[in-house]
Amino acid sequence: MSAPLTRIDPLMHATQSPASPLCAESHALPAENLLARFDRFGPRYTSYPTADRFVEAFDGRALHTAIEDRRDSWSARPVALYVHIPFCESLCYYCACNKIVTKHKERATPYLDSLFREVELWRERIGERARAGQLHLGGGTPTYLDDSQLALLIERLSSAFEFTPHAERAIEVDPRTVDRARLERLRRLGFNRISFGVQDLDPAVQEAVHRVQSEAEIAELMRAARDLRFDSINIDLIYGLPRQTPAGFARTIERIIALRPDRVALYAYAHMPQRFKPQRRIHESELPPAAHRVTMLAQAIAAFSTGGYDYVGMDHFALPQDALARAKRQGLLTRDFQGYTANPECDLIALGVSAISKLGAIYSQNHRDIEGYQEALKTGNLPVMRGIVLSRDDLVRRSIIMALMCQGEVSFESIEQAHLVDFRKAFASELQELAPFEAENLIRIEPDYLRVTELGWFFVRAIAMVFDRYVRTSVAMSPRARLI
């Protein structure tokens, strides 16, 4: 599944282990002040502008123009591919993904036919067999598809795109839908990265969110994935779920560290039942209070730090030898709709219902319902519902925000040369608004650089939001106003 909507939660320094690399900078900061000033909702910046700023005036013609503009470079610069599989066998109450819950597996067949038609339309418009360096299957539950359906999907993609020799091929997996034999078949299909949605190992929490899976099953799948030599194994966790307590979640973190996944994504649960119907089945009285949420986050950060994991950024941790951690150390980290990645920045072709493509200075989103998606394809058109052509201002702000989110620093000279602006003059108001962050030692503003400190990494989204023009011009920063 895709990441749940998240909230900016600060580090509770009082629970931090002395072995953590952040201690030297954070030991004097009062947690209460950080909570009061920086605990607010905001975008995850998997794109800029964020998807809530896309417009329906953007249509297939705008996407076609973007495809034409790239015509001379399809074979030279590999693209990334994303495929959205919306189906799930059972409902997880916390979920905010675009999904269809059904046990009728035959519903996947017409959807795949539509996917294959979309692949063919892209091939026709590109006019050649473009190179692909990445493939990510998300959902929903990609493993809802059986082996023959997945094999056919890979075959159709391979006929339209030439995968590079060391292409990254990732798939999101619901542990309840696979066993060792199934993982072996996924490996034979070419998948080399895998992500298990675990969320919490506490049976009481699992029952509250309608996602029961035993710790023993997770451990066995981890052993199998390691035996099968997947390049990277990720586990997704969520804090802030019903019935979670700091003590209970600490036990989950301890067990996860013992399983030794290469990566961990630690997301915050945002309860918005008015927007996501499945969340109405969660009893609000069982949700942990804000103070407990912060404690759970702080304990997790300390545990992963002392457990040998590097903090990559936002909500991601990785073992030092993992490609994601190496990219962070080398300043090569990038960010796309799947979150942080170690791959070079590139265009993204996204397939399936609700999927969002990125080509240069445009974002294009497919229809969010299957009916609209399939109807558009029947007319011979790519199923575009909305999108955006980035303005000059959008482009320079995207460069700044992504530099902050990925490298933790902005070179004023680099921005000035790339976008022909005087950084300090153009962003004088933003630099002034960053003063509170600098006062709390979250950033350093130098003559030619803006740098995020070690502690500041835990607030990097809040720092990036200062440069978000759409946030700045919003009438109010309501906690419910802007979530993407």
In the prediction, which pLDDT does 301 show?
86
Same domain, 59 and 148: yes
Which residue in 253, 108, 278, 263 sits closest to 177, CA to CA? 108
pLDDT at 484 over 80: no
> What's the distance, CA 136 to chain centroid?
12
Q: How much is the average pLDDT of 129-146?
A: 94
Same domain, 108 and 240: yes
In the prediction, which pLDDT does 379 show?
93
Final residue of a structural domain among 292, 317, 349? 349
In the prediction, which pLDDT does 22 show?
35
Instruction: Determine, yes or no, domain membership for 357.
Output: no
Same domain, 240 and 92: yes
Name the residue with higher pLDDT: 42 or 154. 154
Same domain, 305 and 212: yes
Instruction: Determine, yes or no, domain membership for 20.
Output: no
Instruction: Determine, yes or no, domain membership for 220.
Output: yes
pLDDT at 284 over 70: yes
Final residue of a structural domain among 349, 384, 407? 349
In the prediction, which pLDDT does 41 show?
67
Q: How many domains does the chain have?
A: 2
d(CA 470, CA 183): 43
Same domain, 62 and 203: yes
Final residue of a structural domain among 294, 314, 349? 349
The number of residues making up the chain comes to 484
CATH number at residue 91: 3.80.30.20
In the prediction, which pLDDT does 308 show?
96
401: its two tokens: 């925000």
In the prediction, which pLDDT does 237 show?
97
Q: How much is the average pLDDT of 93-109?
A: 91
Which residue in 51, 126, 66 sits closest to 362, CA to CA? 66
Same domain, 337 and 400: no
pLDDT at 21 over 80: no
The beta-strand segments (E) located in 200-286 are 232-239, 263-268
Same domain, 466 and 330: no
Domain span at residue 204? 51-349
In the prediction, which pLDDT does 156 show?
97
In the prediction, which pLDDT does 13 show?
33
Instruction: Determine, yes or no, domain membership for 7.
Output: no
Q: Are 80 and 132 in contact (CB under 8 A)?
A: yes
CATH number at residue 401: 1.10.10.920
In the prediction, which pLDDT does 297 show?
86
* Least confident among 9-23, 134-148, 334-348, 449-463: 9-23
Q: How much is the average pLDDT of 394-415?
A: 96
Instruction: Determine, yes or no, domain membership for 189.
Output: yes
pLDDT at 477 over 70: no
Instruction: Determine, yes or no, domain membership for 483.
Output: no
Same domain, 277 and 416: no
Q: Are 86 and 99 in contact (CB under 8 A)?
A: yes
Instruction: Determine, yes or no, domain membership for 87.
Output: yes
Same domain, 344 and 410: no
In the prediction, which pLDDT does 451 show?
97
Same domain, 111 and 219: yes
pLDDT at 36 over 80: no
Give the orientation angle of helix 180-188 with respect to helix 215-227, to 10 degrees: 30
Same domain, 456 and 331: no
Instruction: Determine, yes or no, domain membership for 4.
Output: no
Q: For residue 37, name the pLDDT band (cuts at 50, 70, 90).
A: low
Give the orientation angle of helix 290-306 with respect to helix 246-259, to 10 degrees: 30
d(CA 413, CA 417): 6
Report the run of H or E that residue 194 belongs to, with start and end.
Answer: strand 193-199
